[in-house]
Structure 1
Amino acid sequence: MRRAQAREARETQTPRDATDAALLAAVAQGDLGPLGVLFDRHHEHVRQFLLRAAPNDADVDDLVQETFLTAARAAASFDGRETARPFLIGVAVQLLRRRRRAFARLRALIESFGSAPAPPPATPEDEASLAEDEARIRSAIARLGDERRLVLVMVEWNGMSGVEVARLLGTPVGTVWRRLHEARAELRRALERGAR
């Protein structure tokens, strides 16, 4: 009877409409129930980030799970902002870095690209041209250095600010903007060479 009452009390304290800060505060206190709500809210954003930033999409689902488990252990360090998405993406970035250092497996390939599907091509020629363009973009991004690629994906496809990226990567904001500028310029040059 007491267990059922305790579970019911936790459920009423962490409803699905609770803020991310309240959910992470409950997780930091040892209640893992709210972690499911956070997962439901943010797992697809984390997954999309990892699809763009990770070299092997076979590892992405494992990394998503690991991100939330690691975030549960680090919940006490959450700064209380409105959304936990930057915090979770930061955890994912750290896991990617750790994996790269530990296993030396971060290769220059992004398996999935783009956040919105392109409109269907009007003709087979358009379809072939679109596939070639996407392959050139994937290839150009894959040739970027790890740090430039991470910054590019975090800013361009995850809509994070330079300040958020700098905080998550532990680098100065100026370094983030320099890497982003260099990544964009390198990408533009690669695409121009491919168009000739």
Structure 2
Amino acid sequence: MGRAQAREALSAREQTDAALFEAIARGDLGPLGVLFDRHHEHVRQFLLRAAPNEADVDDLVQETFLTAARAAASYDGRETARPFLVGVAVQLLRRRRRTFARLKGLLESFGRTPTPPLSTPEDEASLAEDEARLRSAIARLADERRLVLVMVEWNGMSGVEVARVLGTPVGTVWRRLHEARAEVRRALERGAR
């Protein structure tokens, strides 16, 4: 890599996400790599929790960034692109849902989150049962509630960001989140009896 290319790469890494999207909208795809480096892990973690099939996650991550590059001109100028990129991933998931079977394996990845070893086999069995009940309770949620729950609880998005991504009023997001939490809590309480 020549000095000019190295300076250009360093310059791109120092730019805000908004500036990178402006460059992409002008036809320069170099900044897409910088955006990918900054945000691919957040998008991947969201998709691990929300995608119906873990095997598709890496393809969906790639597709998210390629789609975002094509939509660069519509980027809203926020300093961080994370909510925009998660929104693109949500739209891709919705498209897949219409094309493929319902999301029956949505929560397969929840059990794959690394956990520290427990002290006894009984503790491990109890934790596995709790995780299975939680996955089952979340899997029974309506799609709208499940997406909101995953976006807020596991992806750390604010209600306003989720509302923008889903194109719904903030009040609707909070209602769906409240209903999802209550429904999961009831299901877990029924299972504990």
- Shared topology, TM-score over 0.5? yes
Conservation of the 8 A alpha-carbon contact between 2:145 and 2:176: yes
| Alignment equivalent of 1:157, drawn from 154, 157, 170 | 154
Match of 1:79 in 2: 76
Off by >6 Å, runs of 4+ in structure 1:
none
Quote the RMSD (CA, aligned, Å). Answer: 2.2
TM-score normalised by the chain length of structure 2: 0.91
Give secondary structure in 2 for the equivalent of 1:112: helix
| Cα distance between partner residues in 2 of 1:73 and 1:102 | 21
Q: Structure 1 residue 194: deviation in Å?
A: 1.1
Match of 1:33 in 2: 30
| Cα distance between partner residues in 2 of 1:37 and 1:130 | 39
| Cα distance between partner residues in 2 of 1:101 and 1:175 | 23
Conservation of the 8 A alpha-carbon contact between 1:14 and 1:22: no
For the structure 1 residues 17 and 114, does the alpha-carbon distance in structure 2 shift closer, same or farther, using more than 3 Å as the test? farther
For the structure 1 residues 92 and 195, does the alpha-carbon distance in structure 2 shift closer, same or farther, using more than 3 Å as the test? same
Match of 1:48 in 2: 45
Q: Structure 1 residue 52: deviation in Å?
A: 0.6
| Letter paired with 1:19 | T
Kindly, what percent of the aligned residue pairs are identical? 84
For the structure 1 residues 46 and 12, does the alpha-carbon distance in structure 2 shift closer, same or farther, using more than 3 Å as the test? closer
For the structure 1 residues 148 and 108, does the alpha-carbon distance in structure 2 shift closer, same or farther, using more than 3 Å as the test? farther
Conservation of the 8 A alpha-carbon contact between 2:18 and 2:79: yes
For the structure 1 residues 114 and 154, does the alpha-carbon distance in structure 2 shift closer, same or farther, using more than 3 Å as the test? farther
More helix by share: 2
Match of 1:24 in 2: 21
| Cα distance between partner residues in 1 of 2:106 and 2:15 | 38
Deviations 1:97-137 (A, max 9, x none): 11111334432531222897433211111111111111111
| Cα distance between partner residues in 2 of 1:61 and 1:141 | 23
Gaps of 5+ in 1: none
| Cα distance between partner residues in 2 of 1:108 and 1:115 | 13
Match of 2:100 in 1: 103
Answer with 151-160 or 75-84: which moved more: 75-84
Deviations 1:145-190 (A, max 9, x none): 1111000000111111111111110111111111111100110011
Answer with 142-151 or 111-120: which moved more: 111-120
For the structure 1 residues 12 and 137, does the alpha-carbon distance in structure 2 shift closer, same or farther, using more than 3 Å as the test? closer
Match of 2:66 in 1: 69
Match of 2:133 in 1: 136
Gaps of 5+ in 2: none
Q: Structure 1 residue 11: deviation in Å?
A: 2.2
Match of 2:86 in 1: 89
TM-score normalised by the chain length of structure 1: 0.90
